[in-house]
Amino acid sequence: MISDNKTQHLGTIYRLVEQFELISRTDLAKLSGLAPASITNLTKSLIDNKFILERTVQNNTSRGRPAVGLAVSNFFWQLLCFTLSPDNVEISLCELNGKPIQTKHYPLSSKDYPQLDNYLQTCLNDLFWHSPMEANRILAVSISVVGQINAEHSKITRLGDTSIECAFVETLKAQFDCPILLNEHFQLWLLTESTLGSLINNDNVIFLQLDEAANLSVLLRGNLLHQQSKMNVDKMLMPKFSSLSDVAAPSDCDEIQRYQLNHQVTFPAIIRLVDRYLPNTFTQHNEKIQYLCEQIEQQNETALMILEHISDNLAYVLMNLINIFSTEKIMFNSPLLRIKHILFEQIQQKLQNELLIGNHQVDLVTSQFEWNSPLIACSAIKQGIYEGNLIKDIIQL
C-alpha cells in the first residue's frame, strides 16, 4: 500500500520532469526538497512503470562520461479522450503528454440522444478499427461534456440545452480496467488554463465560455470565487436592447423569463435570431453559428444586427461583474471566436462607454486552446497524474 505522502511525491516528481523536459536527479532533489535517496526510489518507480525514462546528454565541455537526465516517456501509456457537444462527438487517442495520435469526428443529432451510449460505443469501435489500441495501455479515459453531469460524475444529464440520461461511464467500465473521468467541459477548460495555460498572468480574471449555455467563473485574488467553478448567471435579467430581445427568447416565456441571459445570448437564442433573420437550410447548431459568422465577415447588415445584440448583452453582464470585482482581464472561449476581432472591438467599446470605474483598463483575451482541443479533456487525466493518484493506481498493480 502506497502512502499518501509517496503518492503526492510521485506526482510532484513527474510534473517537474515534464516541466523541465530533461532534468537530473540532483536538480530534482533541489527543486522538490526531497532527499537524494527518496528521489532515487521515486524515479525508479516512475521508470519501472514507464512514466519517465533515462536519457544520456553529452556534455561538449567535458570528455568524461555522458550525463544522465530524466524525461517523460510518452510512448507506452495512452489517454483516451471524448469531447461531446450537442452536434458532434470527437474522440482522440493521445500520448501521455496529450499529443493526439489519432482524432476522429462524428456527427451527432437529437435523434441519437435517446440511445447516446450505443452511438458513442459505435463511434469508439470505429476509432478502434482505424487505430487499434491495447486496452491495458490506456491509463485513463476522460469525457468532456458540453452540458451537465450528475453529482456523482457517473451520468450525462444534459447535452447542450437538452435533458438526457446517458450512463456511458458504465459502458466504458466494462471495456477498460482504468479510471473513467466524466466532467463538464467548462470546468475542464478552467482546469486546462490553470495547469497548462500561460496567457492569464493575472489574479483577477473573468472566464466566459459561450455555447449552448453561458458559463462564467471569476478568479479573485488568485482563487475561484465558487468551489463549483461556475457562477449561476443564467437568470440574470438583461435590458431590452432592441426588438431582437423578444425574438431571441422562446415564445412560451413570460415577461420576466424572456429577458434572462440564457434566453438572449446562448446558442439556442442566437439560432432563433439566425433562423428568423437569415433564413437557411442548415440542421445542425454549429452549422448555423458558422453561417452567422460567415455573414458577419461579409458585412451582411442583418448579421451585423445580430452581432450587435450579442455584444450588447455580453458587455452588460461583464460591465456589472467588472464593477463588482474590479476585474482586469476577461478570457473568452466559444465557437464564435471566428469573429473575435469584431466581437471584441464592440464589447471593448461598450465597456469603455459604460464602466463606472474611472481609468479602469480591461483586456479581452482568448484561450490558447481551441474549444474542442483534446488537451482540455486530457487535463482531467493530467491532474490525476500530478496529484499522484493515477500513478499510484498503476504502481499498485
Q: What is the pLDDT along the chain (397 residues), one digit of tens a residue?
A: 567 788 999 999 999 999 888 899 999 999 999 999 999 999 999 999 999 999 876 555 555 555 778 999 988 999 999 999 998 999 999 999 889 999 999 999 889 999 999 999 999 999 988 878 888 899 999 999 999 999 899 999 999 888 999 999 999 999 999 999 999 998 898 888 866 665 556 678 888 989 888 888 888 877 777 655 677 888 899 999 999 999 999 988 888 899 999 999 999 999 999 999 999 999 888 899 999 999 999 999 999 999 999 999 999 999 998 888 888 888 888 889 899 999 999 999 998 887 766 667 788 888 878 878 899 999 999 999 999 999 988 886 4
Distance CA 370, CA 324 (A): 29
List Cβ neighbours of 244 (8 Å cut-off, separation of 6 or more): 273, 305, 306, 309
Residue 35's Cβ-count burial label (10 Å; 0-12, 13-18, 19+) is exposed
- Residue 238 has a pLDDT of 94
Distance CA 159, CA 115 (A): 13
Domain segments of the chain: what residues? 4-72, 78-192+372-377, 200-366
200-366: CATH superfamily: ATPase, nucleotide binding domain (3.30.420.40)
461579409: which residue's cell?
Answer: 298
- Residue 38 has a pLDDT of 93
CATH architecture group of domain 78-192+372-377: 2-Layer Sandwich (3.30)
Distance CA 78, CA 141 (A): 9
List Cβ neighbours of 319 (8 Å cut-off, separation of 6 or more): 350, 351, 354, 355
Q: Give 12's Cβ-side CA count (13 Å radius).
A: 16
Same fold, 4-72 and 200-366: no
Distance CA 245, CA 258 (A): 8
- Amino acid occupying residue 359: N
- Residue 231 has a pLDDT of 79
Let me know the angle formed at the C-alpha of 288 by 284 and 290, rounded to the nearest 5 degrees. 115
DSSP tag of 258: G
At the topology level, CATH places domain 4-72 in Arc Repressor Mutant, subunit A (1.10.10)
- Residue 34 has a pLDDT of 92
Distance CA 363, CA 182 (A): 32
Distance CA 375, CA 197 (A): 11
Strand 205-210 and strand 329-333: pairing? parallel
CA distances (Å), origin 67, targets 39, 61, 177, 228, 346: 17, 12, 38, 46, 56
Nearest to 388 by CA among 37, 42, 25: 42
- Residue 270 has a pLDDT of 96
Nearest to 210 by CA among 271, 291, 276: 271
pTM: 0.84
- Residue 361 has a pLDDT of 78
DSSP lists the bridge partners of residue 107 as 88
Q: Give 343's Cβ-side CA count (13 Å radius).
A: 25
First to last CA, the chain: 10
